Structure formats: C-alpha cells, structure tokens
Amino acid sequence: MSAQLIERNEKSIMKRKNKPSLIKKILKALPVLVGVVAVFYIGALIKDINIPTVLPVNDVQVSGELHFMDKNEIESLVKENISGGYFTVNLSGIRKLLMQKPWVKNVSLRRRWPASVTIFIEEQVPVAYWNKNAFLSEKGDVFKPTDIDKRLNLPELNGPQGLHHDVWQFMNILYRETALLNYEVVRLTLDERRAWQLIIVEQNEATGNQINVRLGRFDTKKRLQRFVRILPALNAEYSFVVDGLAANKIKVIDMRYPNGFAVEIGNKQLTKIKHSQNLSLANNYNKNNNSRHFVCLKNIKITQRCEA
C-alpha cells in the first residue's frame, strides 16, 4: 500500500515539474504585449504629431510622353495642393485633380521614400477636330482644351451634339474604304438632317484641289462603295496637266441618286473639252451598274431624281 502511495506522489511531482509556471507564461507573452502596446502608442503619437513637419513631401516628379502639357506646370499644381506628409498624403485627391485636366487621359501616382511623389501621366492623343471647338480621341471621345491648335494635321469632323461616336465610327469606315485611293478625307459632316457629306483632297497634289462628296441620308454605305469604284475613272476622265503634275477640276460628286451620280466641274472650258469623252465613262458605268452619269457646268441643283 505504501508503495502505491509513493508511486502516486512521484507522478504528481513529475506533472508539477512538467507544467509551465504562470511566471514563465507571462515572460513568453511579454514581447507580444509590448509590441501591441507600442503599435497603439505609435498610432496615437502619429495622430497627434503634425506629420507634414516630420516627413513632408518636398519633391514631385512628373513623367510620361507629354506633347501638349507642361511638366513644370503640373509639378507646381501638385505641390500647391498637397496635404499631409509622406504617409498621409492624399494621392486619390491629387489624381482626381489631375484627371480634371482636358489633356489628361489617365494618371498613376506612388510614394517614393523618403519624401517624394512620382506621377505618371498618359496624355490624350487627338485624332480629329470636333465642331471647331474640341478634339476627338482615338476612342471617339470628346475633350475640350482651353486652346485649340488649328495647325495640327487632323481631319475636321462635325455633327450634332452627342453623335460624336457615330461620326467617328463612320470616319473609320471611310479610312477602310478609301485606303487604296490616292485621296484623304479632310472633313466629314453629319448635318441636322442626318445627311453625310465629306471633302477629300488628292495626296501630294500641288494645286490642293478639294472635292465635295455628297452621300445623303439613305444607303450611305452602298453609296460610299459606289463612289470608291467610280472615283479612279472620274479622276482619269477629268484630269489635266499643270506644270508637269496631274490635277483635276472636279468640284462636287453627288451620289444621292437612286442609280447614278452627278459631277460638277469647276472649269467650263475643261468640261467642254472632256464632255465628248465623259459619255464613254457614263456608258461603261451604265452597262456594268445600270446607273446614270450627269455632268454639270455650274452648281449642282437638287432635282426630283435626287432622293436625299
């Protein structure tokens, strides 16, 4: 019996030895407690201290391929509107401020230790003028800078308010359809009646002759395709040589006829000379397309044959 008591006492003594004491537990948890207290203390200290005086942002760096904006002006604007220090500077507020600029397409910002903010700006790329007081971006979006530089080699697009995307989409169709022609579209207009009209210029032409093309409201794409087919023949039919360079005096091509088109020639003498030859062009076109071809000495007037 005594032997059993002795064995029990020995086991209880071993358990007490293996069981960690309360003091040891406290000592093990002490670093964690100190860390938590330090975090709270530092947080309270940061809240009470004037951070800009401790870690002020004193350097702003602007990067990006900028053609229409001045980096120095952007840096000055950002410095004037910075609030907070390195850790508390309001980057979203700065981004919102810069995104209000018409030439800014996108902005990204980040902190750089110890006292700098870097700003990367993606600038808008103008691809066309819009209604003489704005630009269109490559996505067809309108943006209006304070100053519109008229010296840029961009086509002029015009149309009712809110229809800029439609005009830009049709301009892309024109680019595709006229890619093989030696002409470029310099102006595209959608009027209030939703009728299309464009002005084209022959590339590398010394005389700079412009041709006004009227497509109207209906079957616009079919009329455009028909125009692309007849333009080379018309150009050859009414071309002449000036100082060794080929040129033409076609002023207007009106495609608003159900089965034909009309051409206005600016030079009466040229029209008389070429009038006997244009019948061959008209006859060939009629045989292949069942169309009519009219040549006008002066301004084209709307007739009953012209549907839109």
pTM reported for the whole predicted model:
0.71
CA 58 to chain centre: 33
- pLDDT at position 11 is 56
The whole-number pLDDT of residue 86 equals: 82
The CATH number of the domain where 164 resides is what?
3.40.50.11690
- Domain residues for the domain of 208 are 128-296
Q: Specify if 305 maps to a domain.
A: no
In a domain, 201, yes or no: yes
Domain count, the chain: 3
Whether 303 has a pLDDT exceeding 50, the answer reads no
pLDDT tens track for 185-237: 999 999 999 999 999 998 765 556 789 999 999 999 999 999 999 998 888 87
pLDDT tens digits, 108-146: 999 999 889 999 999 999 999 999 999 999 999 999 999
DSSP states of 224-284 as a string?
HHHHHHHHHHHHHHTEEEETTEEEE-EEEEEEEETTEEEEEES-HHHHHHHHHHHHHHHHH
